[in-house]
Amino acid sequence: MDDLHHTCQWGTGKRWGKTETETGMTRLALSDADKQARDWFVKTTENLGCKVTIDEMGNIFAVRPGLRKDKPPTFVGSHLDTQPTGGRYDGILGVLAGIEMLKVLNDNWIETEYPVGVVNWTNEEGARFPISMCSSGVWAGSIPLATAHNLREVHPGTATQAAHQQVPTG
């Protein structure tokens, strides 16, 4: 829960209760808030001994080596981006479950036979760029890379909104 609440500082949405943890989330894919959460994910998984790679869609793969390095890893995970008015568990819970798995393995000195990892898929919600499960779809071969790269945003991210606001003159 500490990691969940910590990561909610990036993209905090509307308050629905009295405590600081009773808020929704607004962390659209590839926004400044998403970048902060993604940077946290990379640093956290590297600190847990993972090798991190990022593909052409921005999907982040954190791999903990196994005894047999000749086999592909088994991944768990989800996404760090949310709907425009998402909840605190929206997507991130799957990523945090994977990070917790890595912590348990490390804390108990467990070596796995094969590599294991955690993945953060980019734009899984499709809230900013209008195809849900877009980047995992590219990774799986069901969505062409060019199609994904040519998507136009339908819900601007925070940085984009600020750049397009006009300041009144006069």
Q: Enumerate the domain spans of the chain.
A: 1-164
28-37, 72-81, 114-123, 147-156: least confident range: 147-156
Size of the chain, expressed as the number of residues it contains: 170
3-state secondary structure at position 13 = strand
- Could you tell me the sign of the dihedral formed by the alpha carbons of 9, 133, 136, 32, in that order? negative
CB 163 within 8 A of CB 86: no
Residue 149 has pLDDT above 90, yes or no: yes
CA 130 to mean position of chain CA atoms: 17
Distance in angstroms (rounded) separating the CA atoms of residues 166 and 148: 29
- Per-residue CA distances from 125 to 91, 122, 129, 132, 138 (Å): 8, 8, 9, 5, 14
Tell me the β-bridge partners of 112.
none
Confidence of residue 137 (pLDDT cuts 50, 70, 90): very high
pTM: 0.85
Q: Hey, which CATH number is domain 1-164, 3.30.70.260, 3.40.630.10, 3.40.50.20, 3.20.20.70?
A: 3.40.630.10
Summarised one tens digit per residue, pLDDT across range 43-96 is 999 999 999 999 999 999 999 999 998 899 999 999 999 888 877 777 888 999
